[in-house]
Amino acid sequence: MGRLVLAAATSHVGAIVRNPGADPARSDVLHRAWETLDAELAALKPDAVVLVATDHYETFGLENYPTFCLGMADVHEAWGEFGNPGGTVPGRPELAKELLHGLHRRGFDLARSHTMALDHSFMVPLAKLPAAASAGVVPLFVNCNTPPLPTLARCAELGRALADTIAELPGGARVAVIGTGGLSHWVGLPRFGDINEAFDRKVLDLLERGRLPEVLAWSDERIESEAGNGALELRTWVIAAAAAGGRCRTLAYQPMYPWTVGIGIAAFDVVRPDAGLGVVL
């Protein structure tokens, strides 16, 4: 039996590592939260981290754009686009294979890639969470950019199926799930640089109170209108939250105007009876 040892979520904008000292009164709070999350992850000693993120037309283009894609490489190359983190990250292809088949049995026909390169949506969180990079990653791409997008409800179903699949992994595999994206921000639009702090805090409040179904009822039109096209990355948080099954614990939130994004860092109580460890964080 496998174990879901931790579920968490974090924003991923490249400015986190390109301009780390911006607005120190706010950014220092965030850096301490990443350090806290990284220490917790290191203490749990996962065998792999399923890193749930999107892509910004680096790996996937309109000639072939999946809804969900699982990375299965021995080593994942980073794009290092626009000064974002480069290099390589170890993959976990055997575990990825087990996840692929387990999710298929549960009705998810995921695409797969044996050469999946990673952009900043994966690499920035790995830079802030070195314990995740050390554990090795199974990257899980989610289309958050190019309609039609998977619904929030479908992403929640994927999160639950992912947890069920992890629970049946052989050899007692210990796996963490981390979603990356959001929160409010506008990309390539006149409102670039705006942040809707009220929206972000509402998301976190609902998740803290265990009211994920209310978030799942929101339309993409509402999310984009209130919090920008970048907030559609909330899908990655939904997958992590649904995998855990418990309430959110917000480690930090700051409206980071120098980074043009409302930055959230959170963990979720793992309360599924098959998770093996009870509540974490």
Each residue of 119-141: b (16+ CB within 10 Å) or e? bbbbbbbbbbbebbbbbbbbbbb
Quickly tell me which residue has 């619904």 as its tokens.
Answer: 151
Catalytically active residues, by annotation: 120, 185
Would you call 195 helix, strand, or coil by DSSP? coil
